[in-house]
Protein backbone atom coordinates (compact mmCIF):
# COMPACT_ATOMS: atom_id res chain seq x y z
CA UNK A 1 0.00 0.00 0.00
CA UNK A 2 1.27 3.45 -0.89
CA UNK A 3 1.56 5.86 2.06
CA UNK A 4 -0.68 8.93 1.75
CA UNK A 5 2.32 11.27 1.94
CA UNK A 6 3.57 9.86 -1.38
CA UNK A 7 0.27 10.39 -3.14
CA UNK A 8 -0.53 13.49 -5.13
CA UNK A 9 -2.29 16.19 -3.13
CA UNK A 10 -5.75 17.30 -4.22
CA UNK A 11 -4.18 20.39 -5.82
CA UNK A 12 -1.60 18.28 -7.70
CA UNK A 13 -4.32 15.89 -8.90
CA UNK A 14 -6.38 18.83 -10.15
CA UNK A 15 -3.33 20.22 -12.02
CA UNK A 16 -2.61 16.78 -13.50
CA UNK A 17 -6.20 16.19 -14.60
CA UNK A 18 -6.43 19.67 -16.12
CA UNK A 19 -3.16 19.22 -18.00
CA UNK A 20 -4.30 15.84 -19.34
CA UNK A 21 -7.67 17.28 -20.37
CA UNK A 22 -6.03 20.30 -22.05
CA UNK A 23 -3.45 18.27 -23.98
CA UNK A 24 -5.08 15.00 -25.02
CA UNK A 25 -7.46 15.22 -27.93
CA UNK A 26 -10.99 13.85 -27.56
CA UNK A 27 -10.11 11.30 -30.21
CA UNK A 28 -7.15 10.03 -28.14
CA UNK A 29 -7.20 6.30 -27.68
CA UNK A 30 -4.88 3.62 -26.34
CA UNK A 31 -2.13 2.89 -28.88
CA UNK A 32 -2.46 -0.83 -28.12
CA UNK A 33 -6.19 -1.59 -27.95
CA UNK A 34 -7.84 1.71 -29.06
CA UNK A 35 -9.87 1.84 -25.83
CA UNK A 36 -10.66 5.40 -24.68
CA UNK A 37 -10.97 5.00 -20.91
CA UNK A 38 -7.91 5.67 -18.76
CA UNK A 39 -7.00 5.95 -15.11
CA UNK A 40 -4.56 8.58 -13.87
CA UNK A 41 -2.49 7.11 -11.03
CA UNK A 42 -2.59 9.03 -7.73
CA UNK A 43 1.19 8.92 -7.37
CA UNK A 44 3.95 10.09 -9.66
CA UNK A 45 6.11 7.57 -11.44
CA UNK A 46 9.78 7.97 -12.24
CA UNK A 47 11.77 7.16 -15.32
CA UNK A 48 15.22 6.25 -14.09
CA UNK A 49 18.21 7.57 -16.00
CA UNK A 50 20.86 5.33 -17.49
CA UNK A 51 24.37 6.45 -18.34
CA UNK A 52 27.94 5.23 -18.26
CA UNK A 53 26.72 1.64 -18.31
CA UNK A 54 24.74 1.95 -15.09
CA UNK A 55 21.41 3.03 -13.74
CA UNK A 56 21.68 6.36 -11.97
CA UNK A 57 19.70 5.76 -8.81
CA UNK A 58 18.34 8.77 -7.00
CA UNK A 59 17.69 10.74 -10.15
CA UNK A 60 15.17 10.58 -12.95
CA UNK A 61 12.20 12.17 -14.62
CA UNK A 62 9.00 12.42 -12.55
CA UNK A 63 5.99 11.35 -14.57
CA UNK A 64 2.24 11.35 -14.60
CA UNK A 65 1.17 7.75 -15.17
CA UNK A 66 -1.96 6.96 -17.16
CA UNK A 67 -3.15 3.37 -17.43
CA UNK A 68 -5.53 2.02 -20.05
CA UNK A 69 -8.49 0.49 -18.20
CA UNK A 70 -8.83 -2.20 -20.85
CA UNK A 71 -5.34 -3.56 -21.56
CA UNK A 72 -3.28 -1.93 -18.76
CA UNK A 73 -0.93 -0.20 -21.19
CA UNK A 74 0.90 2.55 -19.28
CA UNK A 75 1.64 6.00 -20.65
CA UNK A 76 4.02 8.49 -19.07
CA UNK A 77 3.90 12.29 -19.28
CA UNK A 78 6.44 14.70 -17.83
CA UNK A 79 5.17 15.87 -14.45
CA UNK A 80 7.51 18.88 -14.70
CA UNK A 81 6.05 20.03 -18.02
CA UNK A 82 2.56 19.40 -16.67
CA UNK A 83 3.36 21.72 -13.73
CA UNK A 84 2.77 19.02 -11.13
CA UNK A 85 6.39 18.52 -10.06
CA UNK A 86 9.07 21.21 -9.72
CA UNK A 87 12.04 20.99 -12.05
CA UNK A 88 15.10 19.53 -10.38
CA UNK A 89 18.39 21.34 -10.26
CA UNK A 90 20.71 20.53 -13.08
CA UNK A 91 23.81 18.54 -12.11
CA UNK A 92 26.82 20.57 -13.22
CA UNK A 93 29.40 18.46 -11.38
CA UNK A 94 30.85 17.16 -14.68
CA UNK A 95 31.00 20.59 -16.31
CA UNK A 96 34.60 21.70 -16.80
Spatial distance between the Cα atoms of 33 and 47, rounded to a whole number of angstroms? 24
**DSSP state, residue 24:** S
Q: Which is nearer to Zn ion, 33 or 56 (CB)?
A: 33
Cβ at position 4, least distance to Zn ion in Å: 29
Q: Which is nearer to Zn ion, 16 or 30 (CB)?
A: 30
Chain positions contacting Zn ion, by CB under 5 A = 30, 32-33, 35, 68, 70-71, 73
Q: Which is nearer to Zn ion, 68 or 79 (CB)?
A: 68
Cβ at position 33, least distance to Zn ion in Å: 3
Phi/psi for 45 (5° steps) reads -100, 180
List all residues 6 or more positions away from 1 whose beta carbon is below 8 Å from its beta carbon: none
Cβ at position 61, least distance to Zn ion in Å: 23
In this structure, the number of other CB atoms found within 10 A of the CB of residue 44 comes to 19
Amino acid sequence: MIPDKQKLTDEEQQKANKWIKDHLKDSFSCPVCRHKDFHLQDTLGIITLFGGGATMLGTGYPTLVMVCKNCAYMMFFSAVMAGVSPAGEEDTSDVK
